[in-house]
Structure 1
Amino acid sequence: MMNFNLFTVFVSLCMIFCGLWSFISYNKHLLNSLLSLEFMMLGIFWLLSVSMSMVGSEIYIGLFFLTLAVCEGALGLSLLVLIVRSHGNDYFKSFNILEC
């Protein structure tokens, strides 16, 4: 049982760091950045679930975290749609900060 918990903690930490690496290195498109953020959220949720099951406490904090992750994803997708409608693409190089 202990080896399985250590394995799942290791896998979830690898998921978080792979998501962070892809967020830092593949930042050409906005959609790639949003997908890497969601992958990091999935890894954090898995780590939170495993740690809560080890302690034996309630899982309501995990449901609250999932609610916040879904809200973050919906906000990111709405910004993506807004940017694609206004600029025509989701390349970061085509954005101008001074442009409205």
Structure 2
Amino acid sequence: MSNTSLMILYLMPFMAITNMLLNQTHFLMTLLSLESITLSLVLFIPLMLMNASATNTAMAVILLTFGVCEASLGLSLMVSMSRLYGNDMLKSLTLSKC
């Protein structure tokens, strides 16, 4: 791999976290940001393990499993939120409506 592609892979987790911090209007955008964090970590951790001469490839499978569980839980939360509130805006989740 060239140095440019390695630099992009190293910066992907930080760009995904920045994207999640900046896009917090819709619940779906937050879920997509969490998925991009998971995907970037699935790509980033095996690269770091290869650089450290460790051959633990099971870490990527474990991260993918947690990513799938997080996605299904987030999707079910979004469906229940849209049924209760009628939208997926995060600003509608306040306790002052009670």
TM-score by length of 2: 0.83
Q: Which structure 1 segments of 5+ residues have no match?
A: none
Report Cα offsets for 1:38-62 as digits up to 9, x if no partner. Answer: 1011111101122234425131121
Aligned mates of 1:15, 1:51 — CA distance in 2: 13
CA distance in 1, matches of 2:2, 2:70: 28
SS in structure 2 opposite 1:89? coil
Match of 2:66 in 1: 68
Query: How many percent identity over aligned positions?
Result: 29
Q: Which residue of 2 aligns with 1:79?
A: 77
Separation in structure 1 between the aligned mates of residue 32 and residue 38 of structure 2, nearest angstrom: 10
Opposite residue 97 of structure 1, the aligned amino acid is L
| Equivalent in the alignment of 2:23 | 26
Q: TM-score, normalised by structure 1?
A: 0.81
**1:47 and 2:44 aligned:** yes
Moved over 6 A (4+): none
